[in-house]
A and B are shown apart, each in its own frame.
Chain A
Amino acid sequence: MKDLLDLAVMREMAAGCGWRLEELVGRYLREVHTELEKLKKTSSVPEAKRVAHGLKGASATAGVVGMTEVLRRIEDNDQPSEIEVLVRRAGEQLERVEAALQEAAAKDRAGA
């Protein structure tokens, strides 16, 4: 899980916002699914780079480090065909990240 989530950052961010960890996880998942849909639908390279940039920042800030590398690669890419492949990889990576996030939220609930 350590390569996917920085739990110290996540806990600090949740506390700073006045949220439980579960709330941060829920908000992050809503955001990442919404933005990933935008990435899948757009045919504009600048738009894809902008969306990836924003989501990369939100992921790093929330401690979801497992998404940042693939998003950085989308942001740095100028080739539509390569961006398409990377967006698919981001979707696959999100499945792993989401499982880790759900596990972290469940542990937090159990410890509450």
Chain B
Amino acid sequence: MSRILLVEDNAMNRDMLKRRLMRKGYEILVAEDGAQAIETARKEQPDLILMDMSLPEIDGWEATRRIKANDATRAIPLIALTAHAMAGDRARALEAGCDDYEAKPIDFARLIEKIQARLA
């Protein structure tokens, strides 16, 4: 069973996405802010990270840069989740080290395709 680290500060968003992913057969770890995400990624070595970019304290952009700068976590595929479906955000996400990008509200079927592609 693949383990996914879901990083999302909004409780309802986190709960909805977690449940949907669990029902698809994934084991879900959660982090509520950037600092927790960095620490959980290092300790738990998930197979993939879903990172909301709007987080308190250390935001998703900075957390992604730190995860990708660390030898212990840089190989973990990371998909950015942002609320802005703008071309600039995609470029910014990739520049920060994200492997892929999905705009909110999330198209769940498309997100699953991206997850499966990264885990293959």
Q: Which residues of A contact B (CB under 8 A)?
A: 9, 13, 16-19, 27-28, 31, 50, 53-58, 60-62
Contacts and interface: CB of A to CB of B under 8 A. Distances in A.
A14 to B, nearest CB: 9
Interface of B: 9-13, 15-16, 19-20, 23, 54, 56, 83, 104-106, 108
A61 B83 contact: no
Nearest to A31: B12
B56 A57 contact: no
Contacts, number: 50
Given A18-B23, A31-B12, A61 B105 contact: yes
A58 B17 CA distance: 10
A107 to B, nearest CB: 22
Contacts of A60: 104-105
A17 B83 contact: no
B113 to A, nearest CB: 15
Closest CB pairs A-B (n = 10): A54-B10, A31-B12, A58-B12, A17-B19, A60-B105, A16-B20, A61-B105, A58-B13, A57-B104, A58-B10
Most buried by B among A9, A13, A16: A16
Given A17-B23, A54-B54, 16 more contacts: A9-B105, A17-B15, A17-B16, A18-B23, A27-B12, A53-B54, A55-B10, A56-B83, A57-B83, A57-B104, A58-B10, A58-B13, A61-B12, A61-B105, A62-B12, A62-B16
B56 A61 contact: no
Contacts of A50: 54, 56
Given A53-B83, A57-B105, A13 B10 contact: no
Contacts of B20: 16-17
Contacts of B105: 9, 57, 60-61
Nearest to B19: A17
Contacts of B56: 50
Contact of B9 (A16, A31, A54, A62): A54
